[in-house]
Amino acid sequence: GVGRCKDSSSEVSQGHWNGSTGSLRPVSCSLTFDLKEKRSFFGQRKDYWDFLCQGLARCRQEHEGIHFVTSLDKLKTPVGRGRAFLRYCLVHRQLAESLQLCLLDPESLCEWYYARSPFLSPKRRAEILGSLYELDCVTFHLALYRSDLDTAWPMFSE
């Protein structure tokens, strides 16, 4: 629930999460916490996947992680696509940079997040990104072609 996600965002920003297991649940919760409810033209609920796509589209022509995830036809939900994107970025040592690019535009942040989001606080945002940049020196071997990401994070480290 919301409490668990709030705890997870604090865990990441305070440096207690080191990502050594490859679990991205705290990062996902940080991206989900206080996310405004938005709907697509067809009524599908938007998720942090949509926020990431929009943020990266503003900064770059095309992000390889976005291209990779959209090519995975087994993933049907924005939640699963977001999880796959986070895993892709972690494996390719692009997680902090990719997230930072999405967090550069204050207007976009206010459009997507309510006031309690850790990303609206410059201090908390810097702490989270600092923790994620520390992971760039760690090599992760995660399976990128997982069809179960629509329903849940993998239960065991890979």
Maximum C-alpha span of the chain: 41
Nearest to 6 by CA among 141, 90, 124, 122: 124
Q: Residue written as tokens 């997040």?
A: 113
pLDDT band at 82 (very low <50, low <70, confident <90, very high): very high
pLDDT band at 123 (very low <50, low <70, confident <90, very high): very high
Which helix (H) or strand (E) element contains residue 53? helix 48-59
Give yes or no for a contact between 117 and 32, defined as CB atoms under 8 angstroms apart.
no
Residue 16: what residue type? H
Give yes or no for a contact between 16 and 130, defined as CB atoms under 8 angstroms apart.
no
Q: Residue written as tokens 């989001």?
A: 117
How many residues in the chain? 158
Span 26-32, average pLDDT: 91
Query: Is the model's pLDDT at 154 over the cut of 60?
Result: yes
Span 49-69, average pLDDT: 91
Q: Which fold has domain 2-144?
A: Methane Monooxygenase Hydroxylase; Chain G, domain 1 (1.20.58)
What's this model's pTM, rounded to 2 decimal places? 0.83
Distance from CA of residue 92 to its chain's centroid?
14
The tokens describing 78, both together, are 């924005």
